């Protein structure tokens, strides 16, 4: 699959092609006065454009910024992408596994959660653990952020993060006053407890 295989159709103020890949990802490529493209005006054919606006979706959810994070893209769409770059994006989409897609969805959930978080929530940085992993002479880079209902507890230098998180959840999940809402491991959503029921 390459750019030349995309099927474009003319719509109001925009020319668009959408392609569904076998892994469930959709690539949307647009040009026209309503898109981030070159030139940014309405022309008769996609052949008249040198760059395009693209978006990657999965089941109606934009995951562009997460799948293309190495491109420093921080938006639902990516603008001014030329044909060669789109061909590279197509290769990336075709290689994306279920695990890659699930990771993008978790990152999207975490981003939305952070945007919805109460700005007044207190962040508490817990003192670094002083114990040293006998298997490593250097400190651990792992950081666990526990989002409670009213506060965020940040733990760094965690050598064994999965058992650490399991211990936290087993001892804290039933707290009625300040329950755990979500947990981050190294900036990524580890799990979400917003739907937890006793």
Instruction: Provide the mean pLDDT of the chain.
Output: 80
pLDDT, residue 126, reads 60
Q: What is the 3-state secondary structure (H, E, C) of the chain?
A: CCHHHCCCEEECCEEEEEEECCCCEEEEEEECCCCCCECCCCCCCHHHCCEEEEEEEECCEECHHHHCHHHCCCCCCEEEECHHHHHHHHHHHHHCCHHHHHHHHHHHHHHHHHHHCCCCCEEEEECCCCCCCCCCCCCCCCEEEEEECCEEEEEECCCCHHHHHHHHHHHHCCCCCCCEEEEEECCEEEEECCCCCC
Range in 68-77, 82-91, 117-126 the model is least confident about: 117-126
Q: Which residue has the higher pLDDT, 95 or 197?
A: 95
Res. 197 pLDDT band, cuts 50 70 90? very low
Question: What tokens were used for 166?
Answer: 């399991």
Q: Over 90: is that where the pLDDT of 59 sits?
A: no
Parse the chain into domains and list their residue ranges.
3-102, 117-192
Question: Would you state the torsion angle of the CA atoms of residues 129, 110, 52, 45, taken in this order, to the nearest 10 degrees?
Answer: 160
Query: Of all residues in the chain, what percent carry a pLDDT higher than 70?
Result: 73
Class of residue 80 by CB neighbours under 10 A (exposed 0-12, middle 13-18, buried 19+): middle
Res. 198 pLDDT band, cuts 50 70 90? very low
pLDDT, residue 195, reads 40
Res. 39 pLDDT band, cuts 50 70 90? very high
* 176, HSE (Cβ side, Cα atoms, 13 Å): 1
pLDDT, residue 125, reads 56
Q: Over 80: is that where the pLDDT of 37 sits?
A: yes
13: left (phi > 0), else alpha (psi -120 to 50), else beta? left
How far is 106 from 50, CA to CA, in rounded Å?
Answer: 34
pLDDT digits (tens, 9 = 90+) for 134-163: 555 566 788 888 877 777 888 887 877 888
Highest mean pLDDT out of 76-80, 119-123, 132-136, 139-143: 76-80
Q: How many CB atoms lie within 10 A of CB 22?
A: 7
Question: What tokens were used for 37?
Answer: 């493209």
- Closest by CA to 126, choosing from 108, 143, 106, is 143
């Amino acid at each position: 699959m390459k750019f030349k295989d995309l099927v474009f159709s003319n719509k109001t103020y925009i020319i668009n092609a959408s392609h569904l890949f076998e892994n469930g990802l959709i690539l949307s490529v647009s040009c026209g006065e309503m898109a981030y493209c070159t030139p940014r005006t309405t022309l008769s054919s996609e052949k008249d454009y040198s760059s395009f606006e693209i978006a990657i979706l999965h089941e109606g959810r934009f995951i562009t910024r997460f799948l293309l994070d190495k491109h420093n893209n921080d938006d639902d769409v990516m603008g001014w992408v030329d044909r060669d770059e789109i061909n590279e994006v197509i290769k990336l989409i075709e290689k994306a596994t279920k695990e890659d897609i699930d990771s993008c969805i978790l990152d999207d959930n975490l981003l939305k959660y952070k945007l919805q978080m109460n700005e007044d929530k207190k962040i508490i940085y817990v003192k670094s653990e002083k114990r040293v992993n006998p298997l490593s002479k250097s400190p651990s880079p792992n950081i666990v952020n526990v989002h409670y209902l009213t506060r965020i507890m940040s733990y760094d230098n965690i050598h064994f993060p999965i058992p650490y998180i399991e211990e936290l959840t087993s001892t804290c999940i039933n707290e009625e006053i300040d329950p755990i809402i979500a947990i981050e491991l190294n900036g990524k959503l580890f799990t979400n407890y917003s739907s937890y029921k006793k």
